[in-house]
């Protein structure tokens, strides 16, 4: 024992503190937190009791609850069965993280007006580095209010937090603490009363800390660092250091997807599209160079013809196969513009892109390299659609449904199963009741029934019939009845 008391184990050296940057050059982070993002991304933030659920521990648990559901006791992390017991009218919808990410990306693009440095690394939050924008927007209060209004204008509830570190700004925003904290030295006193759970650590570690009497951040900062790391892990220490800025926190920068937008003004206003189209072709050439330089293709583009004191004429072009050939775009736009009635002379044009996608090489056939890859067919369909209108061409689609209305209605092709049965090529949009019995029913019968799962149940016996003129009809009547015959299709 005496030997053990005499020997002292060397203590681990303390981590060297980071050099504090000058106050004017230090980053300042504005966190825009969206507490109802899961609901708003699904369009479920109305007055009805709605709960967004996600699987956890083998059960469905509440992730977010609407105000009506929360008023009835539904809370996050609650089991769905328990929530439905509290609120019988509760509507449960599955969480959609992709929809939430799309909303955040959209809002990030809108907030690029405040700063080019935005991060989406924090959950349901945009992090904006705004130190360099304070003077331009008249100070932190005005800039924060402007960012809040941009998000609120799109219908999203937002809470703001401003602090020298992104983690501290996130904590302030989640806590609804709107007063900005501009100095890193003030962070410990401002954040000291926040619950440890606000750090985003797992529930088990939060429970262990609570059992040790550690409930708020101030309790952790009073503990010896090495003892805290040894008992609860280095990750907890790292999070605390990131909050107060003694450890840098690398974030990924958000980059808006590339977009093309270019405009040209005519020297003289004109009503003839012949004089306008060379300008359009020049913009399309720039557009093709833009696409090739970024190795992307365009699925949509919009041409705007600007008139003096009149609403611009817009022509939207959607392609069946995304492309980047200016010649192809020009041919399609010419088809559309030939049928456009201009309300006033044109004084300028604007071309902008939408729906850019990464370019991928078309798949070639190894044994028949000269075989058509489908590009020529798609180009022909694009031209037909541009000439006849976007609603003139329809895409045949095959649907797996045993009912004739579901399988062969519209332009849907016949399935192989349907082709084996005696079904006509020409189906009526709706079955028509036959007025009389002047038809001869052939004995072969095909029974089609069920469909209760989508509210369209059927129970019919179909027969081939021949009318007085020799035409072959496809008729049916309800199973087990002697009711009237209905005509559903014609054989040739």
Cα separations in angstroms, 487 against 335, 417, 425, 468, 490: 42, 21, 14, 15, 8
Amino acid 251: pLDDT: 93
Please, which residues have CB within 8 angstroms of residue 271's CB and are 6 or more apart in sequence?
A: 342, 345, 346
Per cent of the chain over pLDDT 70 is 86
176: left (phi over 0), alpha (psi -120 to 50) or beta: left
pLDDT digits 0-9 by tens, 166-222: 999 999 999 988 888 988 889 999 999 999 988 888 888 989 999 999 999 999 989
Instruction: Compute the average pLDDT of residues 323-341.
Output: 87
Highest mean pLDDT among 13-22, 45-54, 326-335: 326-335
Question: How many CB atoms are located within 10 Å of the residue 63 CB?
Answer: 18
What is the mean predicted confidence (pLDDT) over 73-99?
Answer: 90
pLDDT band at residue 266 using 50, 70 and 90 as cut-offs: confident
The residue-averaged pLDDT of 435-441 equals 78
- Average pLDDT over every residue of 35-60: 86
Residue 59 host element (H or E): strand 59-65
Flag whether pLDDT at 451 surpasses 80. Answer: no
Banded model confidence at residue 2, pLDDT cuts 50, 70, 90: very low
Q: Name every residue whose Cβ is closer than 8 Å to that of residue 322 and which is 6 or more positions away in sequence.
A: 297, 298, 299, 355, 357
pLDDT value at residue 396: 60
The residues, any chain, with a CB within 8 Å of residue 352's CB and separated by 6 or more, are 259, 260, 261, 262, 301, 302, 304
The Cα 167–Cα 201 span in angstroms is: 13
Q: Encode pLDDT of 397-406 as tens digits.
A: 666 777 777 6
Residue 12 has pLDDT above 50, yes or no: no
Do 175 and 162 meet the contact criterion of CB atoms below 8 Å apart? Answer: no
Q: Does pLDDT of 485 surpass 50?
A: yes
pLDDT of residue 171: 94
Mean pLDDT across 232-238: 90
Distance CA 403, CA 489 (A): 13
Range scoring the smallest mean pLDDT among 150-159, 258-267, 412-421:
412-421
Q: Strands 472-478, 486-491: parallel, antiparallel or unpaired by DSSP?
A: antiparallel
Q: What is the pLDDT of residues 288-302, one digit of tens each?
A: 999 988 888 998 899
110 in Cβ contact with 146 (< 8 Å): no
């Amino acid at each position: 024992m005496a030997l053990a008391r005499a020997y002292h184990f060397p203590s681990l050296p303390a981590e060297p503190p980071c050099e504090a940057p000058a106050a004017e050059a230090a980053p300042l982070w504005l966190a825009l937190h969206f507490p109802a993002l899961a609901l708003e991304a699904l369009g479920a933030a109305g007055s009805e009791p709605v709960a967004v659920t996600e699987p956890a521990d083998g059960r469905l648990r509440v992730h977010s609850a609407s105000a009506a559901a929360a008023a009835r006791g539904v809370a996050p992390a609650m089991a769905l069965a328990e929530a439905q017991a509290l609120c019988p009218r509760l509507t449960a919808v599955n969480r959609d993280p992709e929809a939430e990410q799309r909303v955040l990306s959209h809002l990030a693009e809108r907030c690029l007006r405040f700063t080019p440095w935005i991060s989406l690394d924090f959950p349901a939050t945009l992090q904006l580095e705004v130190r360099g924008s304070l003077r331009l927007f008249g100070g932190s209060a005005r800039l924060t209010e402007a960012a809040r209004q941009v998000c609120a204008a799109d219908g999203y509830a937002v809470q703001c937090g401003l602090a020298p570190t992104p983690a501290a700004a996130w904590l302030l925003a989640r806590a609804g603490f709107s007063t900005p904290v501009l100095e890193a030295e003030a962070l410990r006193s401002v954040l000291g009363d926040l619950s440890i759970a606000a750090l985003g650590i797992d529930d088990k570690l939060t429970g262990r800390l609570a059992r040790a009497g550690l409930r708020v951040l101030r309790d952790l900062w009073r503990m010896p660092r090495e003892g805290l790391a040894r008992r609860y892990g280095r990750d907890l220490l790292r999070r605390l250091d990131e909050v107060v800025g003694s450890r840098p926190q690398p974030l990924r920068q958000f980059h808006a997807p590339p977009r093309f937008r270019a405009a040209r003004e005519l020297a003289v206003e004109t009503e003839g599209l012949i004089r306008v189209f060379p300008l359009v072709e020049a913009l399309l050439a720039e557009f093709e160079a833009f696409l090739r330089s970024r190795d992307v293709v365009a699925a949509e583009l919009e041409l705007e013809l600007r008139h003096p004191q009149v609403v611009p004429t817009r022509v939207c072009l959607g392609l069946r196969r995304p492309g980047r050939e200016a010649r192809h775009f020009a041919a399609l736009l010419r088809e559309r513009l030939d049928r456009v009635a201009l309300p006033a002379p044109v004084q300028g044009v604007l071309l902008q892109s939408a729906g850019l996608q990464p370019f991928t090489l078309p798949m070639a056939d190894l044994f028949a390299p000269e075989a058509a890859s489908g590009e020529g067919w798609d180009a022909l369909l694009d031209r037909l659609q541009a000439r006849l209108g976007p609603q003139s061409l329809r895409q045949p689609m095959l649907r797996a449904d045993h009912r004739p209305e579901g399988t062969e209605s519209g332009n849907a092709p016949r399935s192989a199963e349907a082709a084996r049965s005696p079904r006509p090529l020409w189906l009526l949009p709706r079955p028509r009741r036959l007025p009389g019995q002047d038809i001869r029913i052939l004995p072969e019968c095909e029974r089609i029934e069920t469909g209760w799962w989508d509210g369209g149940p059927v129970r019919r016996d179909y027969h081939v019939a021949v009318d007085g003129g020799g035409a072959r009809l496809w008729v049916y009547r309800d199973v087990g009845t002697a009711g009237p015959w209905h005509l559903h299709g014609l054989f040739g």
